Amino acid sequence: MILDGRVVARAMRADTRQAAERVTAQRGRSPALAVLHPTDDAAARSYVRALVRAATDVGITCRIVPLAADTTRAQVLAQLAQLNGDPQIDGIMVQTPLPVGCDAAEVSRAVAASKDVDGVSPWNAGELSHGRAALLPATPAGGMALLRHYQIPLVGRHAVVIGRSAVVGRPMALLLSHAHATVTLAHSRTANLAALVRCADIVVSATGRAGIITGEMVRPGAVVVDFGINVLADGTIVGDVDFAAVSTHAAAITPVPGGTGPMTTAIVLQQVVDAAAGAA
């Protein structure tokens, strides 16, 4: 079974559109998202254009805050302070790469937790560890929504998450644990990674290393969630998983592209409306 993120994200956006209409009627204005993005990065520009189109489609207003290459740390923090205090802004996203001199951890700490629709602030990370975060890390939350949509059983299943980044791997492990899976968090220094993955009912890869999960590593009937986005020399986009080899015997698998990627944007938009509704 192909876990098709495009199909699920489309359905989620339809629900978000209805929720945005209710919030707009209640508050007299549409939910609003502010996006800080580096103007000198082509990938960031492309993503922001797609995000603005998707947001507009569901009834969310976007305010784009460009960050030129010479934008200083003080200017970024001042801009965030202004947006945090702006009652017309419900959600804030900060795109990377940040200008030189800006520390990503410091910037994430500067985003108000109530407006952190990407779920990257330390406050929301702490709340997630206790199982009570209101705004979740968007990428792993999208992976979980995909599993729920396709009714993948999680309770009591053994999940192996490869990759321990603060924005994908670790929060995905927590979300799976909150869903009553038994979770092993693996990484680049894990001994006998292939043998460990072979024991998993659910394999989640978030390493950014093309082909790290081979066909021999995944047991027949396993469910595979691939968060990897890797660009090969010829421009082809692939995940961390050898899709051709693994898809022959996995019970379910996310494609790349078209799997977890569309879900991230869908979650961000949903959380903008949730934040707006909470502030009403």
Q: What's the CA gap between 184 and 190, in Å, rounded?
A: 11
In this prediction, residue 280 carries a pLDDT of 56
Q: Considering its fold, how many domains does the chain have in total?
A: 2
SS3 call for 173? helix
Q: What's the CA gap between 33 and 115, in Å, rounded?
A: 9
Instruction: Say if residue 153 is in the same domain as residue 247.
Output: yes
Q: For 28-48, write each residue's pLDDT tens digit.
A: 999 999 999 988 888 888 889
Instruction: Say if residue 191 is in the same domain as residue 80.
Output: no
**pTM (whole model) above 0.85:** yes
170 Cβ contact partners less than 8 Å away, ≥ 6 residues apart:
164, 185
Q: What's the CA gap between 261 and 226, in Å, rounded?
A: 10
In this prediction, residue 40 carries a pLDDT of 86
Instruction: Say if residue 237 is in the same domain as residue 147.
Output: yes
CA-CA distances (angstroms) from residue 44 to 167, 225, 259? 17, 24, 20
Instruction: Write the CATH number for 73.
Output: 3.40.50.10860
What domain range is 82 assigned to? 27-113
Residue ranges for the chain with pLDDT beneath 50? none
Query: What's the burial of 131, exposed, middle or buried (CB within 10 Å: 0-12/13-18/19+)?
Result: exposed
Residue 215: how many other CB atoms lie within 10 Å: 15
Domain end position, chosen among 113, 147, 180: 113
Instruction: Write the CATH number for 161.
Output: 3.40.50.720
Domain membership of residue 279 (yes or no) is no
